[in-house]
Amino acid sequence: MRPRAVLACALPLLLLLGGCGDGTPADGRAAGPSPVASAPLPPEPTPSVGPRPTPPALVRPLPARLPAGLRRKTGVRTVALTFDDGPHPTWTPQILDRLRAAKVTATFCVLGTKARRHPDLIRRIVREGHQLCNHSWRHDLDLARRPVAEIRRDLDRTNEAIREAVPGAKVPFYRQPGGRWTREVVTVARQLGMRSLHWEVDPRDWSKPTAATITKRVRAAARPGSVVLLHDGGGDRAATLAASPHLIADLKRRYGVAPPR
Ligand SMILES: [Zn+2]
């Protein structure tokens, strides 16, 4: 395992007693300075002798490790809601219902494998005016570090699965699983006509907080133009779903909600 992969797994391991590969979404695990200031950090060891230990790499500022060309803001006042790792037959329809009730549209960052399995949900996402984002074929966290030809095949294959469901569907964005971007993946996405969509607000809904906590975290961190990361796939999304009516209404009232353009 490469050092970065070890580091990326270390914090969730400590926080959740879980681990990478447990099936929960990995987005947000790239850590960095989350806008969620309340997230706990592992205690720093305090040896009685010797030099003070270097702080863990995970607390280093995220922008320093991100390549250029990532979108984290909409560029206008409206905030963007993004839902990752679906479509999922249980959660995606209910999220779509909440969005419809609130009369807002969002961005769905879908996996190729899930799009192939649930083409009806891809069709509903498009029919109801939402935006699609390519989130790779099977959520390979290391995809961005693989050979360029392999990256291109993965992203191409995912767009093909989407367009099998909806011929000619627009896929204006790509989002790297786990936020583990490289210059190479940003370049390949651009060559395939996709801009790279990161996020500004991560309430860490993958770590199973309560609905009230998700709402509180988003409310505290959202700013004009924020791109907000949520999940409609990758695990039990009951809390995200329960949070969504209040969360959407609050963001809509303060900033307006619309996909990035
Ligand atoms: Zn994801």
In angstroms, what is the span from residue 56 Cα to ligand 1's centroid? 24
Query: Which residue ranges make up each domain of the chain?
Result: 65-254
- pLDDT surpasses 50 at 15: no
**Pick the residue with more confidence: 32 or 211?**
211
Please give the share of the chain, as a percent, with pLDDT higher than 70. Answer: 75
Please give the share of the chain, as a percent, with pLDDT higher than 90. Answer: 75
Question: What was the pLDDT predicted at 64?
Answer: 59
In angstroms, what is the span from residue 46 Cα to ligand 1's centroid? 35
- pLDDT surpasses 90 at 239: yes
Dihedral sign computed on CA atoms, order 202, 208, 214, 216: negative
* Nearest one of 35, 37, 33 to 55, comparing CA atoms: 33
How many Å apart are CA 144 and CA 224, to the nearest integer?
30
- pLDDT surpasses 90 at 2: no
pLDDT digits (tens, 9 = 90+) for 179-191: 999 999 999 999 9
Question: What was the pLDDT predicted at 55?
Answer: 38
Indicate the pLDDT class of residue 137, thresholds 50, 70 and 90: very high
In angstroms, what is the span from residue 132 Cα to ligand 1's centroid? 14
In angstroms, what is the span from residue 167 Cα to ligand 1's centroid? 24
The CATH fold of domain 65-254: TIM Barrel (3.20.20)
In angstroms, what is the span from residue 110 Cα to ligand 1's centroid? 8
In angstroms, what is the span from residue 199 Cα to ligand 1's centroid? 12
**Average pLDDT of every residue of the chain:** 83
In angstroms, what is the span from residue 229 Cα to ligand 1's centroid? 9
**Start-to-end C-alpha separation, the chain:** 37
In this structure, the strands spanning 80-86 and 227-231 are parallel
Indicate the pLDDT class of residue 47, thresholds 50, 70 and 90: very low
Indicate the pLDDT class of residue 34, thresholds 50, 70 and 90: very low
| Residue positions annotated with a catalytic role | 84, 231
- pLDDT surpasses 80 at 17: no
Q: Compute the half-sphere exposure of residue 107: CA atoms within 13 Å on the CB side of its CA.
A: 28
